[in-house]
Amino acid sequence: MLDNEDMGATTETAGRHRVVVIGSGFGGLFGTKALRRADVDVTMVAKTTHHLFQPLLYQVATGILSQGEIAPPTREILADQANARVILGEVTGIDLEARTVTSQVLGRATITPYDSLIVAAGAGQSYFGNDQFAEFAPGMKSVDDALELRGRIFGAFELAELAETEEETVRLLTFVVVGAGPTGVEMAGQIAELAHRTLRRDFRRINTHDARVILLDAAPQVLPPFGAKLGAATKKTLEKMGVEVQLGAMVIDVDERGLVVQDKAGDKTRIDAVTKVWAAGVQASSLGKTLSEQTGAALDRAGRISVNPDLTLPGHPEVFVVGDMISLDNLPGVAQVAIQGAKYASRVIKGRLANKPPEKPFKYFDKGSMATISRFKAVALVGRIRVTGFIAWLMWLGVHIVYLTGFKNRVTALGHWTISFLGSGRAERTATEQQIFARMAISRLERGTSDLVTDPGEWNDVRLELEARALEEAHLTDAGMRGRARVS
């Protein structure tokens, strides 16, 4: 017989301090792991079954990596951590008074009590009040987003090969990326590489080199957090690759066939483009609002919640909020803020249980930022040092290999990078209709995916029919009747 640990079960101990962690992203995962040796029971509640390495989503969208390489199952990552349990569910309620978290999956509700809570639910895409744009310009926040975009990008080239007019071809071969931050720059660079390098021999009627890739931003520069110098260098590199960079350009409308841009003088221009990518803004998880309503902590315009210097909420020292959800000292929305914040929260919890003196306030250590532009070209900012080109790209490669979760993923990602960067191929070009349309179909259901779950009772007739068919199949084989005319 297997004991609990062999079965991968948690070793929950009655009366032990219960930590609930919301989210399986950088904050959630690193916070949970930091409690590995603590005398606590950890329950991670997350709405996906994977830990997502968001910085490489653009490579899934453009066919370089598979989704598995950047989104390993959280359950597998934590399999050896006996004090941790993972449950699937979207947190819909946090009751700070009762100290419970309510989560839902397919209409099933679960209530999880806690003694300490770490909220690391991250941020979603912001369309600045124009959520109707989302249907035509998917964001880049989830595996679903990346696969949908992969389908749309590769699908646009396929449809262009079939187009009957010049106008239609141009519309299909125009790709617009909205937002010139790191994600927008990386997407624009990769779509340009696809068009100019990867796909150039694959089509007969169209010349993929004719594709227009446009990067738009309302801001006056590319990559503002990297400073003016690196921003200018990035713009120059993109333009050399054939990307049209339009700055001071605000998107005011998006539809199926294109978008409308307004410049600073108020003039409007329409760009016909079937494929649009939205990489322009973030909105913190709506759980911030729930927490704000119960504590009075302020929310900023992006929905981020103000936290105390020790990352707790006013009047609730047992509740920590970390990562993209917080507004503290102008900290950026980057992975290291989430990782370091979650480790800090775990340290405070362990310290309290050991009756140690309180930790000093949370202090973020900036390890630098980097963004790739194309193969062999990147920009990096480490302290005051600015690096561009191949050296920056090598730094990018090193950091991403180190931080990708799991040895298996590192090896396969390296293989795929070799194919894409040294050769001209892409290992993950598979795109299906469901990738492109499933989300739209689900959004039309009244109760979302819950509407797709059938009452077990409704399956009885199907079961009877399947059983009868299986009996008939087995009889045909056993009676040697295959290939012989049936004698009635």
Least CB distance to ligand FAD at residue 335 (A): 4
Residue 454 neighbours by CB distance under 10 Å: 9
Q: Which string of DSSP letters, residue by residue, matches 263-304?
A: -TTS-EEEEE-SEEEE-S-EEE-THHHHHHHHH---B-TT-P
Residue 360 neighbours by CB distance under 10 Å: 9
Least CB distance to ligand FAD at residue 323 (A): 2
How many whole angstroms separate alpha carbon 1 and alpha carbon 25? 35
Q: Which residue, 22 or 243, has its beta carbon nearer to ligand FAD?
A: 22
Active site residue 186: yes
Can you give the binding site for ligand FAD, defined by CB under 6 A? 22-28, 45-48, 54-55, 57, 90-91, 120-122, 140-141, 182-183, 285, 287, 323-324, 333-336, 338
Least CB distance to ligand FAD at residue 78 (A): 13
Least CB distance to ligand FAD at residue 50 (A): 8
User: Contact at 8 Å (CB) between 369 and 55?
Assistant: no
Starting at the earlier edge strand, list the strands of the sheet with 385-388: 369-374, 377-382, 385-388
H runs (alpha helix) in 176-222: 182-193
Least CB distance to ligand FAD at residue 295 (A): 18
Q: Which residue, 27 or 258, has its beta carbon nearer to ligand FAD?
A: 27
Q: Which residue, 169 or 183, has its beta carbon nearer to ligand FAD?
A: 183
Q: What are phi and psi of 418, to 5 degrees?
A: -60, -45
Handedness of CA 455, 461, 465, 470 (dihedral sign): positive
How many whole angstroms separate alpha carbon 132 and alpha carbon 392? 38
Three-class SS of residue 174?
A: strand
Least CB distance to ligand FAD at residue 462 (A): 33
Nearest residue to 406 (alpha-carbon basis) of 78, 116, 1:
78
Residue nearest to ligand FAD (CB): 25
User: Contact at 8 Å (CB) between 121 and 107?
Assistant: no
For 436, half-sphere exposure in the C-beta direction (CA atoms, 13 angstrom radius) is: 13
Catalytic residue among 69, 148, 186, 193: 186
Q: Which residue, 51 or 316, has its beta carbon nearer to ligand FAD?
A: 51
Give catalytic residue positions. Answer: 186
